Amino acid sequence: MKVNNVVTLDINSLSFDAMGIGKLDGKKIFVTNALPGEKIKAKIVQVKHDYAVGQVEEIIKRSPERNNGENDQWAKDGFDNLANLKYEYQLKFKHDRIMELLKQAGLADIKVKDTVPSPKQVGYRNQRLVYVRNYHGQLEFGFLKPYTHEFEPVDNFLTTDKQLSKVLMGIRDILREMKIPAYDPKTNTGFIRNVDVRRSNKTGEIMVILVTRQKDRPDLPRLYALLTEKMHDINGISMNYNPHQTEKIWGSSDIPLWGVDYLTEEINGLKFQISPQSYFQFNSLQAPVVRDIAIKEADIQPDDVVIDAYSGVGTIGLLAAKKAKEVREIETVVASVRDARRNAENNQIDNAKFFKGNADQVLARWNKQ
C-alpha cells in the first residue's frame, strides 16, 4: 500500500475522532467522511507501519445515517468529521465514546446519561480561528487539512455564528484591499499568519486577534481604523506576535492595538473576562446547560472542597463556589489562570484558589500531603 493508491473498503466503525475505519491486508485504514456500513473507494494520503489514512474518493454504498447536503463538504475536508452524520447519531456517537473511555479506565459500571442536544446544531460557535495564506495569487482565509496540512480556502463557516462569519469575511476583504501580505510557512515571510475572532453571546461584542510574524508595520493604524469603521460590533483588537517558523499558532506576547484586550461573557449572573489566549466554551448557548448539569449532579454541600481540574477562565469552579466551602482550580495556560483570578475578584468570590500546572501532577502532589 502506497500514498495515492485508491483502495476499496468496507467501513465497520468510527474512530474516537469520528473517522471511518476499514481494514485492508490486516491494517487499519482511517478515512475522513466515511461512515459505518458504507462501501467506499479511498485515496491513501498517509502510510504508517501499523495503519494508514485515506480520503473518500467515491461512496459506493451509503449509510442511512449519513447527513447528505452541504455539510458533507466539511466532513470531506476533515474540518468537522461529524458533519456527515445525522444529528441524533452524532449524539449517540458522543455517548458511546464516553462509555468506551470509562470502560478503558476500568469504570464501566458508571452510568452515562444521554447526550444533551445543543440548542443550535449549526452556527453556534462563538469563536473561530483561521489560517491566512496566499492561494492562487490572492489572500484567503481557511484551514489546514488533517494529515496532509494542505491549505483549503473557506468562506462559509458551517458551525460559526453568522455575525462572526460576516466579520471574518470583512477582515479578509480589508486585508486584501490594503494588500497586507499573507504568511508563507515555507519561507517564514509575510505578515498575517492567523486571525482569531470571538463573540460574546450575552453582549454581542467581538474581539479580534491578529497573529502576525512581525510586531509592527506602518499601515497598522489604518488597518484597525478600517476594521472598527466597517464593523461596529468590534470592541477590541489585539496582536499576537509569533516570528518563528513553526506549526505552533500562538506566540508568547499579546499586544493591545485598539479598545479592550478581553471579551466579557455572562453565565448565571457571573461575568467572565476572557483574554486572547484563554479557553472558553465555544458553544455559548450550551455552556449554561453544561454548567447547570455539572453543579446539580455534583450535589455540592457547604463543607465540600471542590476541585475544577481543567478550569479555563474559572466558569464551573466560580459557579460552584456559591455552594462550596472552597474551590481549587487547576489550569495549564497562564492567561487562563490570570483571567480566572480576575474573574473571582470581579465577582467578589473569595473562596477560590488557583493553581497553574498539569492536573494529574497537581492532584498527585495534593494526594501525598
Annotated binding site: 281, 310, 331
Instruction: Please state whether beta strands 305-308 and 326-331 pair in parallel, antiparallel, or not at all (unpaired).
Output: parallel
Between the two ends of the chain, the Cα-to-Cα distance in Å is 54
* Cα–Cα dist 64/38, whole Å: 9
- Quote the CA–CA distance of 45 and 330 in Å, as a whole number: 39
Question: Rounded CA gap, 118 and 132, in Å?
Answer: 30
Q: SS3 of 73, please?
A: helix
Annotated binding-site ranges for S-adenosyl-L-methionine: 281, 310, 331
Gap between the Cα atoms of 76 and 259, Å rounded: 39
Q: Distance between CA atoms of 79 and 221, rounded to whole angstroms?
A: 34
Going by C-alpha positions, the residue among 194, 138, 196 that lies closest to residue 167 is: 196
Q: Are strands 51-61 and 127-135 parallel, antiparallel or unpaired?
A: unpaired
Q: CA-CA distance, 206 to 183, in Å (whole number)?
A: 24
CA 306 – CA 320 distance, rounded (Å): 7
- Whether the Cβ atoms of residue 31 and residue 22 lie closer than 8 Å to each other: yes
Name residues whose C-beta falls within 8 Å of residue 243's C-beta, 6 or more positions apart in sequence: 213, 214, 251
C-alpha cell at 47: 502510510
Integer Cα distance of 282 and 129 in angstroms: 11
**Cα–chain-centroid distance for residue 102?**
23
